Each structure stands twice: as structure tokens, then as C-alpha cells.
Structure 1
Amino acid sequence: MGLSLDVQNRHQRGLCVFSAGPRLLVSRLSRLVLLAVVEAHFQGVDFWRTDEYRSCVPPLRADVGRALAGSPERCARGPDA
């Protein structure tokens, strides 16, 4: 299983992801927003957000979450779902 993003209209310019071994750094407009370290054998991720962090994915509405409970589609929804 993996993550795939289909960006059709980029509203927030300057989002960059850098990686070095198990470490990830996400910046927006040259400002650090997220640091992450992937644990050995890919068994988890520790991450730290800065005050600059703003999610680019809208939150899942409670009614949609309840409707998708137990369905694999709950993890593969688009922003219009």
C-alpha cells in the first residue's frame, strides 16, 4: 500500500519534500513545516510539525467517516468525497 497524490490545481506554491535516508523534511516557501523519521523496517514514522504547518488536505467530515467506516475507500477518498 502507498500514497499517491494527483495534483491538478496547485494552490500552495513552493511545497518541497527532501529526503536523506530515513529522514524527511517538508518546506513551503523556504520555511520548514514538517520533519519526519521513518523507523527501521518501515514500521512507523515519527514526525514533528512547526508552527508553519497547515494541512493541504481537507479534514474528513464526521458524516463521511461514519458512512465509510469499515470500508477500504475511507483511506482512498479524494478531496471532493
Structure 2
Amino acid sequence: MQNSYSYYCNMACQYFPCHKGLEGEDFNCLFCYCPLYALGDSCGGDFSYLKNGIKDCSACLFPHRPENYEEIVRRFGEIAALAKKRE
């Protein structure tokens, strides 16, 4: 695959595929834990909130679609801003 740094598929994972809707090599495991999760309701994915307030991303395939790599990397500045030390 061209740009192999932007894609990784781990079919040997005991949870593969962890989300329904993408099959086989179409599933990108690179962002197994979505970096956009921390952006809350502005992440852009298909999520909901559970009654206890926890964000539920089980219906979201955004970080697992290979074509979304560039968009996720583009948003790292927003994630870094969340971690920035405030005075």
C-alpha cells in the first residue's frame, strides 16, 4: 500500500474488527484508540453519549477508514491545545 505509514490492519487482533461496517483490509487499525475522542462533541465522528455521560463511539468508523488519515493528522493541533498548560 502506498503511504504505508498511514495504514495498519491487524486482523490477528482478538477484537478485529472492533466496529461493524468495514471488512478485511478496508479496516485501518492505526488509530485503534481514536485521537479525536478528546475533542468531545466536535470530533466529527458518529458517536452518542450514554446516560452516565460517557462518549460512546461504538458506531463510529471515521478513524478506521484509510482515507481519513489526513483529516485526523490535520486536527492534532486541536488535540495539543487541550493538553496545553494553562496559567
TM-score, normalising length: structure 1: 0.26
Q: Which has the larger radius of gyration?
A: 1
Q: Greater share of strand residues, 1 or 2?
A: 1
Q: Greater share of helix residues, 1 or 2?
A: 2
